[in-house]
Amino acid sequence: MAVRLPRPRRFDVYVALGGLLGGLLLWGVGLATRPHTEAYVFLPGRWPVLLPLLVMAGCELLRRTAPRAALLTGTAALVLDTVTQGNLVTVLMYTDLMYAAVLYGPPASAHRIPRITGLLSLAGAVVPFALWREPEALLVGVVTGLVAFAPASTGLIVRNHRDAAEAARLRAEQTALLAEMDRTQAVTAERARMARELHDMVANHLSAIAIHSTAALSLQDPKTSQEALRVIRENSVEGLAEMRRLIGILRDSSGDTEPVAAPTLDGLGSLVENARANGLDITLDAAHGTVPAPVALAAYRIVQESLTNALKHAGPGLVAVALARQDGALTVSVTSPYGDRDQPGAPGSGAGLIGMRERTALLDGTFEAGPEDSPDGKVWAVRATLPVPDTAEGDTA
Question: What tens digit of pLDDT does each residue of 358-389 get?
Answer: 889 888 999 999 888 888 788 899 999 999 87
- Predicted local distance difference test score (pLDDT) of residue 4: 66
Q: Give the integer Cα–Cα distance in Å for 69 and 53.
A: 17
Strands of the 377-387 sheet, one edge to the other: 281-287, 318-326, 329-337, 377-387, 366-374
Q: Give the integer Cα–Cα distance in Å for 200 and 300.
A: 10
Name the percent of the chain in helix, strand, coil, to the closest 5: 65, 10, 25
Q: Is 70 in contact with 58 (CB distance < 8 Å)?
A: no
Residues of the chain below pLDDT 50? 253-259, 343-346, 392-397
- Predicted local distance difference test score (pLDDT) of residue 16: 93
Q: Give the integer Cα–Cα distance in Å for 321 and 383.
A: 10
Output the CA angle 84-87-90, nearest 5 degrees. 110
23 alpha-carbon distance from chain centroid: 54
Q: List domains and CATH numbers for the chain.
A: 10-173 (no CATH), 265-397 (3.30.565.10)
- Predicted local distance difference test score (pLDDT) of residue 261: 57
What is the pairing mode between strands 377-387 and 366-374? antiparallel
Query: Does the reported pTM lie above 0.75?
Result: no
**Torsion sign (Cα): 351, 357, 359, 362:** negative
What is residue 374's three-state secondary structure? strand
DSSP element (H, E) containing 285:
strand 281-287
What is the DSSP code (8-state) at residue 149? I
- Predicted local distance difference test score (pLDDT) of residue 96: 95
Taking alpha carbons only, the member of 196, 131, 129 closest to residue 363 is 196
- Predicted local distance difference test score (pLDDT) of residue 396: 43
**Torsion sign (Cα): 298, 300, 301, 307:** positive
DSSP string over 349-371: -SHHHHHHHHHHHHTT-EEEEEE
